[in-house]
Amino acid sequence: MGSFILQKITKKSEDSFALAEMYYSILSVINSLKLTNREIQLLAYSAVKGNLSNANVKEGFKNKYDTSLPTVTNIISRLRKIGVLIKKDRKIIINPVIALDFQQEVHLNIRLYAEAKQEVPNG
């Protein structure tokens, strides 16, 4: 593999919501998901408060972020289409592959690399 650059970044967040927002923002950028701020906020809220099938969770998000229930429903629909949210046992939850417990410290290990380009001989 050769040499590599190691960069360690430590970032403190104010609470579990902010930590979850940071995490889903990073996932969005790295995976080119192009999530909006509101979509990231909904994911973070759901990660901390629970499944989005629960009317109290939707209502809590609506009140905290001063939005409407139709907007929340539209965001849920888009996140389901791209596989970030899934339906399991009649509940809408964050895909378990990216669901974390944000009450704990989160350590990410991200490996970024460029694929080696093959030289094409002239001729």
Q: What is the mean pLDDT of the chain?
A: 92
Each residue's pLDDT tens digit, 70-123: 999 999 999 999 999 999 999 999 999 999 999 999 999 988 888 877 666 775
Q: Which domains does the chain have, with CATH numbers?
A: 16-94 (1.10.10)
What is the spatial distance between Cα 35 and Cα 41, in angstroms, rounded to a whole number?
10
Cβ partners under 8 Å of residue 103, min gap 6: 16
Q: What are phi and psi of 94, to 5 degrees?
A: -70, 140
Q: What is the pTM of this model?
A: 0.87
